[in-house]
């Protein structure tokens, strides 16, 4: 019998620097990914990658939070913590997707939005709120995939979707366990206890109806295991888009609204 994996152990797996990144999944799932750059206002922030890709004849717009592996890559990617220009870049390509009727796929993997002074001066909170607002009313299907660490508004900013898929060892939460324990108990050392209470694992979130599908992760952390995850993700994307494409624009928008409205009511109960 396999040993039960604790919530904190899931956190550690999700944060593992050797864990596959969003670009690793994009490269294997989609055909002909072409990255697009810039928010046409400030700069191209590399913590979020945007671009065009396809599976067969179906075109997609891709929006993905991207961490680095080496110190150099992490500095370049700002450790996967987006600045406001990242969210404004994402909004730009969401609107482009709507114009050309392309479904949007987002990949969530961040510790949270960057909390630096410059980010706040350039409107970090407004950029996150605007991203969620635009996603809520976007007239094309949206699928969000949590592949690693999905924390705080930095993750939710690109998570307002018709369907949310989550890898088994990913996490999705309002903030980090360390931050939660610091705020609630004034004691950051209780992070393991906080992780259990936060209900941040895929199983917890599926039971709470926050996510729609869990993609199992093989015990073996190797290329063969990665290939299985990729194949299952690709299959789920194709099934989900085929189903969503059957519906009208009005249904797509209303379905997304009701999904998050009902989720809030369910969690309060």
Res 7: pLDDT: 95
For residue range 168-215, what is the model confidence (pLDDT) as tens digits? 999 999 899 999 999 999 998 999 999 999 999 999 999 999 999 999
For residue range 98-152, what is the model confidence (pLDDT) as tens digits? 999 999 999 999 999 999 999 999 999 999 999 999 999 999 999 999 999 999 8
Q: How confident is the model at residue 218 (pLDDT cuts 50, 70, 90)?
A: confident
Q: Give the span between the Cα atoms of 140 and 129, in whole angstroms.
A: 19
pLDDT at 67 over 90: yes
Res 223: pLDDT: 87
**Which residue in 128, 126, 26 sits closest to 82, CA to CA?**
128
pTM for the whole structure: 0.94
Least confident of 202-211, 217-226, 242-251: 217-226
Q: Is 83 exposed, middle or buried (0-12, 13-18, 19+ CB in 10 A)?
A: buried
Res 264: pLDDT: 56
Per the CB < 8 A criterion, the answer to whether 166 and 211 are in contact is yes
Res 2: pLDDT: 53
Residue boundaries of the structural domains of the chain: 7-268
| Domain 7-268, second-level architecture | Alpha-Beta Complex (3.90)
For residue range 253-268, what is the model confidence (pLDDT) as tens digits? 999 999 888 765 544 4
């Amino acid at each position: 019998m396999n040993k039960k994996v604790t919530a904190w152990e899931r956190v550690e797996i999700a944060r593992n620097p050797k864990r596959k990144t969003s670009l690793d999944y994009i490269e294997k799932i989609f055909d002909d990914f072409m990255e697009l750059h810039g928010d046409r206002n400030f700069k191209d922030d590399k913590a979020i990658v945007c671009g065009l890709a396809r599976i067969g004849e179906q075109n997609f717009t891709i929006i993905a939070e991207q961490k680095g592996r080496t110190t150099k890559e992490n500095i370049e990617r700002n450790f996967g913590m987006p600045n406001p220009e990242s969210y404004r870049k994402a909004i730009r390509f969401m609107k482009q997707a709507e114009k050309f009727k392309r479904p949007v796929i987002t990949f969530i993997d961040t510790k949270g939005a960057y909390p630096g002074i410059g980010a706040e001066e350039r409107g970090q909170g407004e950029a996150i709120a605007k991203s969620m607002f635009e996603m809520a009313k976007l007239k094309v299907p949206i699928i969000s995939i949590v592949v690693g660490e999905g924390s705080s508004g930095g993750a939710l900013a690109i998570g307002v979707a018709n369907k949310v898929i989550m890898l088994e060892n990913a996490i999705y939460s309002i903030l980090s366990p360390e931050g939660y324990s610091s705020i609630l108990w004034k004691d950051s050392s209780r992070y393991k206890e906080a992780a259990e209470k936060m209900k941040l694992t895929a199983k917890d979130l599926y039971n709470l109806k926050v996510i729609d599908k869990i993609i199992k992760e093989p015990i073996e952390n190797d290329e063969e295991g990665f290939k299985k995850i990729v194949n299952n993700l690709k299959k789920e994307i194709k099934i989900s888009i085929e189903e969503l494409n059957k519906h009208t624009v009005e249904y797509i928008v209303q379905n997304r609204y009701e999904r998050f409205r009902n989720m809030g009511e369910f969690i309060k109960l």
